[in-house]
Amino acid sequence: MTEPVLALEGLTVRFGSRRVVEDLTLRIGPGEVLGLAGESGSGKSTAALAILGDLGPGGRIEAGSLRFEGRELRGLAEREWRALRGAGIALVGQEPMAALNPSMRVGAQLAEVPRLHGRASRAEARAAARRALEELRLPDPDRMLAAYPHQLSGGQLQRIVLAMALMAEPRLLILDEPTTALDVTVEAEIMALLRGIRRTRGTAMLFIGHDLALMAGICDRLAVLYAGRLAEAGPVAQIFERARHPYTQALLAALPRIYAARRPPAPLPGSQPLPQDRPPGCAFAPRCTHARRGLCDRDPVPLETVALDAVVRCLRWREIDGAPEAAPALPGPDIGGPILEVEGLTRRFGSGRGTVHALQEASFTAFEGETLAIVGESGCGKSTLARLLMGLERADAGTIRLRGVEVQDRLAGRRPRDLTAAMQMVFQNPSDTLNPAIPAGRQVMRALELFQGGLPARTLREGLADLLGLVRLSPALAQRMPRALSGGQRQRVGIARALAGDPAVLVADEPVSALDASVQAAVIGTLLELQRTRRATLLFISHDLALVRQIADRVMVLYLGRIMEIGPAHRIFGALCHPYTRALLDAAPRPDPGAPPPSPLSGERPSALTPPSGCPFHGRCPRRAELPETLCEDRLPPLAEVAPGHRIRCHLPPERLRF
């Protein structure tokens, strides 16, 4: 058997009195890609820091061994660590902007690597930097080398960070959620690059992430971490085919599947315990449907080898059936008349260098009781649209009619109370949606006071209890400060607050994108259930097409401030769609290790400051060649109806847009 590149044996990392990582055993063979999956707080980033010898002042390795190419790293002096980092083990983190020095040109930063590790001359270092960028297919490398980080896009920066990590030719590359901050098309591009690197260089990788679908596309083996301990590890195909641990099963069930029937992802109740609150027995037992009292909650569960190269930490894995219960399919929506009509809505931002067209002539109608998903990459205008609807910003042109009343000229606070209550918003960031200085319950109470003004205090208190019950929160949580709530709980409080006025339209701006997969499914479930029972219209803004596929009745796709397509979800995902929508679908990762890798979209997204003429998508459109010479550059295609209720903005005839 060949020597593994990295071997962890019973690694335990402690911060103060808390064991963040416990008894972690992992092996990465030469050229192998190991996925370390886990939700936030599972200890996966701490494990990465321990491997890099960078735990910081509070943390220390309490037990276990950490061997890199057969050499024990525990107890290494700081000087030896420095020699190892970069050349032996390199790290690519989540935030490329934070990894690069904002006051240094990219070229100078890249050139530091060979200067430091290979003692190259200045000219050699420059040349090496240029080669590194070319290898990662960055367009116009000379311009990149001369640029400052803030002048480049997130995708370009992440490729530069990757280039920097590869320049010292490390034997192990640690990737800590390398695509979390990126759009789906850019993500697909980075993942394709990583697969290429693996093929050509054979670098061993530790891929840390929370998105199992993404990891299915690159990893050979998968290790699932829960509450600091390994829950399960094994070959990736085996895990996707037959996960043994109930937690892995739940995670897989919670994954939105893009080509599956229209049903919401299966939720997993509760949330991961903090290191100080971990139960004595199996850490997952409190959330596990298979847990037995007196068995699972007594002693720490040992890791058991269940097959060649597969381990699981569960006492009952033999008795558990591999397939967890799927969530019931959504009932068909009960769609009523139009409730929100938007006509020619336009928003421009003037800046010193020109005008940004955040939203151009958007027209659509939302009907009572439907879920309309608004999809697009960052900067496409979807958040601007939400802010315009809510009256947080004033539109430059166009009309918004809510229940037949024009509201576009009335900013929030100037709208009559019933119209304010009729359209409410759920915000994206769970750490920001609630005021951190005010107890959670009081924030919902305030909304009740405003919308149901004049009611006696007792009725309001009952209303608060009802609302918290609706979003499945215990009334005891009302007294807590937001920081004492988990992300999912905060999002639920935010939903309860938006429901206080019994809204007819609920605008949800990426309400679950910052949540862990298992929590995400539960919040989505709550949102959908409420929408169905209350017959509210849900405007669901998202970048996650798989999720949209499973919950939306209709879909609207935005690109550079323009509506590119709007239509029924079953048609867009099943019959025919715009080339851009198609590209988004193709770029989405598939939770299936056997599936062909997603195909990235070529080309950089143009700046909204200098939008392309004609069709905004022509520069990246894979089907551009099918049309005569300059048609796409010259003329903006109309948003033409290709079927009842399905409109597409493309010069190609609809029959050529079929799947």
Partner 1 sequence: MEELGWLGILGRMALRFVPVWAGLALILGLGWRARARLGPAGRLFGSWAGLSGLTLVLFWVLTALFADLIATHDPLAQLSGLKNAVPGSPAPGSSYPVYLLGGDSLARDCFSRMVVGARRVLAIAPAATLCALAVGMLLGLPAGFVGGRLDAALSFLANLVLAFPVILLFYLLVTPEIRQTALPRTVAAVLFLMPLLFLVLLWHSRFRTRAGPWALGLAAILGPGLWIWAGLALDADPSGLWRLEPGLLTVFVAVVFVNAPTAFRIVRGLALDLRHRDYVAAARTRGEGPWFIMLWEILPNARGPLIVDACLRVGYTTILLGTLGFFGLGVSPESPDWGSTINDGRRFLAIYPHAAVVPALALLSLVLGLNLLADALRTEARHD
Give yes or no for residue 453 binding partner 1 (CB under 8 A). yes
CB 418 → partner 1: shortest distance, Å? 10
Q: What is the CA radius of gyration of the chain?
A: 26
**Parallel, antiparallel, or unpaired: how do β-strands 537-542 and 554-559 relate?**
unpaired
- Contact between 355 and 349 under an 8 Å Cβ cutoff? The reply is yes
Residue 441, CA atoms < 13 Å, CB-side half-sphere: 17
Give yes or no for residue 429 binding partner 1 (CB under 8 A). yes
For the chain, the 3-state helix, strand and coil shares in percent, each to the nearest 5, are 35, 25, 40
Give yes or no for residue 435 binding partner 1 (CB under 8 A). yes
Candidates 139, 202, 344, 436; binder of partner 1 (CB under 8 A) is 436
User: Cα–Cα distance between 202 and 195 in angstroms, integer?
Assistant: 10
CB 600 → partner 1: shortest distance, Å? 32
Give yes or no for residue 380 binding partner 1 (CB under 8 A). no
Give yes or no for residue 450 binding partner 1 (CB under 8 A). yes
Beta partners for 341?
365, 401
- Contact between 355 and 348 under an 8 Å Cβ cutoff? The reply is yes
Candidates 173, 208, 390, 495; binder of partner 1 (CB under 8 A) is 390
User: Cα–Cα distance between 172 and 491 in angstroms, integer?
Assistant: 38
DSSP class of 485: S
* Tokens 């061994």 sit on residue: 65
Q: Where are the alpha helices (DSSP H) in 535-578?
A: 545-551, 569-574
Give yes or no for residue 64 binding partner 1 (CB under 8 A). no
Candidates 109, 249, 384, 433; binder of partner 1 (CB under 8 A) is 433
CB 388 → partner 1: shortest distance, Å? 12
Q: Which is nearer to partner 1, 287 or 387 (CB)?
A: 387
CB 134 → partner 1: shortest distance, Å? 40
Candidates 331, 454, 628, 644; binder of partner 1 (CB under 8 A) is 454
User: Cα–Cα distance between 277 and 167 in angstroms, integer?
Assistant: 42
What values do phi and psi take at 225, rounded to 5?
Answer: -105, 135
Candidates 217, 379, 391, 441; binder of partner 1 (CB under 8 A) is 391
User: How many CB atoms within 10 Å of residue 345?
Assistant: 24
Give yes or no for residue 432 binding partner 1 (CB under 8 A). yes
Residues 500-559 contacting partner 1, CB under 8 A = 500-501
Give yes or no for residue 434 binding partner 1 (CB under 8 A). yes
CB 285 → partner 1: shortest distance, Å? 30
Q: Which stretch binds partner 1 (CB under 8 A): 16-24, 89-97, 415-423, 557-565?
A: 415-423
Candidates 239, 447, 577, 650; binder of partner 1 (CB under 8 A) is 447
Choose among 185, 190, 123: nearest CA to 162.
Answer: 190
Site string for partner 1, 456-495 (x = CB under 8 A): --------------------------------------x-
Q: Which is nearer to partner 1, 329 or 405 (CB)?
A: 405
- What six digits make up the tokens of 226? 């829960």
* Tokens 């061997």 sit on residue: 67
Choose among 594, 575, 544: nearest CA to 254.
Answer: 544
Binders of partner 1: how many residues, by CB under 8 A?
34
Residues 84-123 contacting partner 1, CB under 8 A = none
Give yes or no for residue 169 binding partner 1 (CB under 8 A). no
Give yes or no for residue 413 binding partner 1 (CB under 8 A). yes
- What six digits make up the tokens of 562? 């323009």
Give yes or no for residue 428 binding partner 1 (CB under 8 A). yes
Give yes or no for residue 412 binding partner 1 (CB under 8 A). yes
Q: Which is nearer to partner 1, 392 or 405 (CB)?
A: 392
- What six digits make up the tokens of 268? 């997993």
Distances (CA, A) of 465 to 64, 121, 270, 455, 493: 49, 70, 20, 15, 12
Q: Is the dihedral of CA 569, 573, 578, 581 positive or negative?
A: positive
Q: Which is nearer to partner 1, 452 or 599 (CB)?
A: 452
Give yes or no for residue 424 binding partner 1 (CB under 8 A). yes
Q: Which stretch binds partner 1 (CB under 8 A): 280-288, 439-447, 551-559, 595-603?
A: 439-447
CB 496 → partner 1: shortest distance, Å? 12
CB 515 → partner 1: shortest distance, Å? 15
Choose among 544, 556, 543, 562: nearest CA to 617.
Answer: 562
CB 58 → partner 1: shortest distance, Å? 12
Distances (CA, A) of 117 to 86, 169, 305, 421, 434: 8, 10, 40, 62, 47
CB 389 → partner 1: shortest distance, Å? 10
Candidates 415, 554, 571, 623; binder of partner 1 (CB under 8 A) is 415
Give yes or no for residue 392 binding partner 1 (CB under 8 A). yes
User: Cα–Cα distance between 616 and 625 in angstroms, integer?
Assistant: 15
Distances (CA, A) of 632 to 359, 563, 579, 639: 20, 16, 13, 14
CB 80 → partner 1: shortest distance, Å? 33
Q: Which is nearer to partner 1, 194 or 506 (CB)?
A: 506
What values do phi and psi take at 657, rounded to 5?
Answer: -100, 5
Q: Which is nearer to partner 1, 128 or 340 (CB)?
A: 340
Q: Which is nearer to partner 1, 60 or 414 (CB)?
A: 414
Sheet containing strand 172-176, edge to edge, reads 89-92, 172-176, 204-209, 33-37, 221-226, 229-235, 310-312, 304-307
Give yes or no for residue 15 binding partner 1 (CB under 8 A). no
CB 31 → partner 1: shortest distance, Å? 44
Residues that bind partner 1 (CB under 8 A): 387, 390-392, 412-413, 415, 417, 420-421, 424-425, 427-429, 432-438, 443, 446-447, 449-451, 453-454, 494, 497, 500-501
